[in-house]
């Protein structure tokens, strides 16, 4: 018996997996980032604002103490109602009476060696503080005012202690005193702390509001991605007809649109591939059936029958090989390396093709025109196309008929044509003959696969060009390869360099 699984710490595994999945979503990540940034911003704002408010509160306390000192000095210098004070005791008493302390403020006037004067009501007593008593004991006539923070019954208290002296007082009168004003700091800071608490509550509310808005907005923004995901999952090679719903006109909608376009191209390419396979299977089945039929019926005892069947089977196999070669070539036609473009001499291209095709049949051979130009092309593929066009011309014409080749520059194109005086092509057949396995009335009874013109067309398209046909039934046909002198794809720096070298050598 196997030992039981050890208990796992923390949350159960399935819950952890679920949580991990939730936190891996873009929505959760966006939300986390937005909340973290907002929280950080609010925290920095809160801390800075709290520090500033505290500084402002302390400065206000100091200003209010300064005000008290200024008032005392004014009294000492100018007296009250124009009458100067005769004694320190009088001055301190008047000053205390004059003073209207606010709720957190207290004052005391101490005559050295004499009485202590204080307002009738005050929130706390300053003379209780040992530090205040110490300052009073140590006061000298020309000491500077002391400003510091001391502990009193009201807690931390900011005080200013101003020495007072009136020389020339009555004999025996004390001439030194200390006027102390204190402001309790804590009540002021409590107000600042209250503000901070209010800010924290508001900030938390704002954070929750941001979270709710971000949650809704991300859901809305990411919905197209969910649609994209669902469509991508649903689409298979068997069914490429699904499309993503496109909402609005923003960049996310662009993604959905591009995705749909991609699906369209894929669907088309799959359909082309399927048609290609259907066509190829159909065309290959005929020779296979012929071969099988003959082999089944051959009389192996009859040497003549065997020889004839062998020749026929070899002939059919030959046809199949050509068919397979042509199909392979067509399948390759959309690959980027189907043509190897380079600058070539158009005149030479025509000459070489002409030399190769003349032995194809007893015809009246002619060169209509010969362009002396340079074209960026794949000479092998262009010759292959010309030879295909000439072999058609020969195939569909008779001995003594005219077959002419020609080339000319027209605008930015090179025209290469093959002209014959054969039966021509009916206008309604013109489109069909360029399709794979497409044949016209003229093709009937003439051997062929119907792939020749499809290959010529593919070669022209790989050069960025096309094939034109001009024909009248009974009056021959002219097939023209229209090739750009410089295909757009070849107009990169490499092609430029090639052309410059070729031009320089000429
Ligand atoms: P194939 O020659 O094997 O039938 P192609 O694709 O070369 O296949 O040609 C397709 C069809 O176009 C031919 O079957 C024929 O009907 C027609 N055709 C092509 N070239 C000529 C031509 N020079 N004159 C008359 N008809 C032509």
Distance 460 CA to ligand 1 centre (A): 17
> Comparing 313 with 112, which gets the higher pLDDT?
313
> Which span out of 95-109, 325-339, 388-402 was modeled with the highest average pLDDT?
388-402
pLDDT in tens, 355-393: 999 999 999 999 999 999 999 999 999 999 999 999 999
Strands in 352-440 per DSSP E: 364-369, 374-377, 402-410, 413-420
List Cβ neighbours of 141 (8 Å cut-off, separation of 6 or more): 163, 165, 167, 175, 176
- Same-domain check for residues 308 and 395: no
- The protein residue whose alpha carbon is closest to atom 3 in ligand 1 is 448
How far apart CA 114 and CA 505 sit, in angstroms, is 121
* Lookup: tokens for 40: 């950080």
To test the ligand 1 pocket, which listed residue (430, 437, 439, 478) has its Cβ within 8 A of the most ligand atoms? Answer: 439
Tell whether ligand 1 has an atom less than 6 A from the beta carbon of residue 396.
yes
Q: How far apart are CA 126 and CA 355, in angstroms?
A: 125
Query: How many angstroms separate the alpha carbon of residue 449 from the centre of ligand 1?
Result: 9
* Across 254-269, average pLDDT: 90
CA distance 501 to 503: 5
Q: How far lies 100's CA from each of 94, 122, 126, 180, 280, in Å?
A: 12, 10, 16, 14, 111
Ligand 1 centroid to Cα of residue 424, in Å, is 9
Q: For residues 83 and 162, state if they share a domain.
A: yes
- Look at residue 11 in the predicted model and tell me its pLDDT: 65
Cβ(106)–Cβ(121) below 8 Å: no
- pLDDT (0 to 100) of residue 497: 35
Q: Is the beta carbon of 476 within 6 A of some atom in ligand 1?
A: no
423 lines ligand 1 (CB under 6 A): yes
Q: How many domains does the chain have?
A: 3
pLDDT at 500: 32
Kindly state whether residue 234 falls inside one of the protein's structural domains: no
> Do residues 364 and 402 lie in contact, with contact meaning Cβ atoms separated by under 8 Å?
yes
pLDDT score at 235: 83
Q: Using 50, 70 and 90 to split pLDDT, how confident is the model at 44?
A: very high
Q: Which pLDDT belongs to residue 244?
A: 87
**358 lies in the same domain as 297:** no
Same domain, 193 and 279: no
Confidence of residue 469 (pLDDT cuts 50, 70, 90): very high
Give the Cα separation of 201 and 204 in Å (integer): 5
Residue 145 lies in a domain: yes
Q: Are residues 315 and 344 in the same domain?
A: no
pLDDT band for 347, please (50, 70, 90 cuts).
very high
| DSSP labels, 124-150 | S-STTSHHHHHHHHT--TTPPPEEEEE
Alpha carbon 473 to its chain centroid, in Å, reads: 58
Least confident of 209-223, 225-239, 417-431, 466-480: 225-239
Model confidence at 498: pLDDT above 60: no
Task: Note whether residue 7 is domain-resident.
Answer: no
Whether residue 418 is found in the same domain as residue 362? yes
pLDDT for 506 beyond 70: no
What's the DSSP call for residue 362? S
Residues 134-139, mean pLDDT to the nearest whole number: 90
Looking at the structure, tell me whether residues 384 and 275 fall in a common domain.
Answer: no
Mean pLDDT of the 249-276 span: 87
Considering the domain boundaries, does residue 353 fall inside one?
yes
What's the CA-to-centroid distance between 453 and ligand 1, angstroms? 7
CA of 66 to the centre of ligand 1 (A): 112
Note the pTM of the prediction, 2 decimals. Answer: 0.57
pLDDT at 444: 67
- Per the model's pLDDT, the better-predicted residue between 498 and 165 turns out to be 165
Helix, strand, coil abundance in the chain, percent, nearest 5: 55, 15, 30
Q: At 10, is the pLDDT very low, low, confident or very high (cuts 50, 70, 90)?
A: low
Clarify whether residues 165 and 191 are in a common domain.
yes
307 lies in the same domain as 370: no
CATH number assigned to the domain comprising residue 152: 3.30.450.20
Whether 448 is in the pocket of ligand 1, judged by its Cβ within 6 Å, is yes
Write out the two tokens for 350.
């025509």
Tell whether 5 is covered by a domain: no
The model's confidence at residue 293, banded by pLDDT at 50, 70 and 90, is very high
126/130 Cα distance (integer angstroms): 9
Last residue of a domain, one of 316, 332, 348: 332
Closest CA to 100 of 136, 58, 71: 71
Please say if the pLDDT value at position 493 is more than 70.
Answer: no
Confidence class of residue 505 from pLDDT cuts 50, 70 and 90?
very low
Q: Which of 203, 221, 239 is the last residue of a domain?
A: 221
Domain that holds residue 476: 339-484
Q: Residue 478: name the closest of 432, 434, 435, 416 by CA.
A: 416
Q: What is the 3-state secondary structure (H, E, C) of 248-293?
A: CCCHHHHHHHHHHHHHHHHHHHHHHHHHHHHHHHHHHHHHHHHHHH
Same domain? 46 vs 85: yes
Segment 402-428, tens digit of pLDDT: 999 999 999 999 999 999 999 999 888
> Is the CB of 420 inside a 6 Å radius of any atom of ligand 1?
yes
pLDDT band of residue 481 (cuts 50, 70, 90) is very high
Ligand 1 pocket, 425 CB below 6 A?
yes
SS3 56: helix
Residues 262 and 358 in one domain: no
- Phi and psi at residue 373, in whole multiples of 5°? -145, 170
**Band (59; pLDDT cuts 50, 70, 90):** very high
Most confident of 213-222, 236-245, 438-447: 213-222
Tens of pLDDT, residue by residue over 144-158, are 899 999 999 989 999
pLDDT reading at 442 higher than 80: no
Q: Which two tokens stand for residue 41?
A: 């911003």
Tell me if 187 is assigned to some domain.
Answer: yes
CATH number, domain at 325? 1.10.287.130
Total length of the chain = 506
Residues 128, 489: Cα–Cα separation, whole Å: 98
Q: Say if ligand 1 is within 6 A of residue 385 CB.
A: no
Domain boundary at 332, 358, 393, which?
332
The answer to whether the CB of 458 is under 6 A from ligand 1 is no
């Amino acid at each position: 018996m196997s030992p039981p699984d050890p208990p796992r710490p923390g949350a159960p595994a399935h819950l952890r997996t679920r949580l991990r999945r939730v936190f891996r979503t873009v929505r959760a990540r966006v939300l986390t980032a937005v909340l973290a940034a907002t929280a950080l911003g609010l925290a920095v704002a809160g801390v800075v604002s709290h520090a500033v408010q505290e500084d402002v509160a302390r400065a206000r306390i100091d200003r209010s103490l300064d005000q008290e000192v200024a008032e005392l000095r004014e009294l000492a210098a100018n007296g009250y109602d124009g009458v100067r004070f005769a004694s320190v005791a009088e001055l301190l008493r008047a000053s205390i009476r004059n003073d209207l302390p606010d709720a957190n403020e207290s004052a005391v006037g101490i005559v050295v060696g004499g009485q202590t004067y204080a307002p009738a009501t005050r929130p706390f007593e300053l003379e209780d503080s040992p530090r205040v008593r110490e300052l009073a004991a140590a006061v000298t006539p020309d000491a500077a005012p002391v400003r510091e923070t001391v502990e009193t019954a009201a807690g931390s208290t900011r005080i200013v202690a101003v020495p007072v002296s009136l020389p020339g007082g009555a004999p025996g009168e004390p001439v030194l005193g200390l006027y102390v004003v204190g402001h309790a700091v804590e009540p002021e800071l409590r107000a600042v702390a209250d503000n901070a608490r209010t800010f924290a509550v508001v900030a938390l509310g704002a954070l929750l509001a941001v979270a709710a808005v971000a949650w809704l907005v991300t859901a809305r923004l990411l919905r197209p991605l969910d649609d994209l995901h669902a469509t991508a999952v649903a689409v298979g090679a068997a069914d490429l007809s699904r499309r993503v719903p496109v909402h609005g006109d923003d960049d996310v909608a662009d993604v959905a649109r591009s995705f749909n376009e991609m699906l369209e191209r894929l669907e088309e390419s799959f359909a082309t591939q399927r048609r290609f396979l259907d066509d190829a299977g159909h065309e290959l089945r005929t020779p296979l059936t012929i071969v099988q039929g003959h082999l089944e019926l051959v009389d192996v005892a009859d040497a003549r029958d065997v020889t004839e069947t062998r020749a026929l089977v070899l002939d059919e196999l030959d046809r199949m090989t050509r068919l397979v070669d042509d199909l392979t070539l067509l399948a390759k036609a959309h690959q980027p390396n189907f043509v190897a473009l380079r600058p070539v001499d158009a005149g030479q291209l025509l000459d070489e093709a002409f030399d190769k095709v003349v032995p194809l049949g007893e015809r009246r051979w002619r060169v209509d025109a010969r362009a002396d130009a340079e074209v960026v092309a794949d000479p092998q593929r262009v010759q292959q196309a010309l030879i295909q066009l000439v072999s058609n011309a020969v195939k569909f014409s008779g001995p003594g008929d005219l077959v002419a080749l020609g080339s000319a520059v027209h605008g930015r194109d090179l025209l290469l044509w093959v002209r014959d005086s054969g039966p021509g092509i009916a206008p309604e057949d013109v489109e069909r003959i360029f399709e794979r396995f497409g044949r016209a009335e003229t093709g009937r009874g003439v051997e062929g696969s119907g792939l020749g013109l499809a290959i010529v067309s593919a070669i022209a398209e790989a050069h960025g060009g096309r094939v034109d046909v001009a024909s009248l039934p009974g009056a021959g046909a002219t097939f023209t390869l229209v090739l750009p002198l410089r295909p757009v794809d070849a107009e990169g720096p490499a092609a430029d360099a090639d052309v410059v070298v070729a031009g320089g050598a000429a």
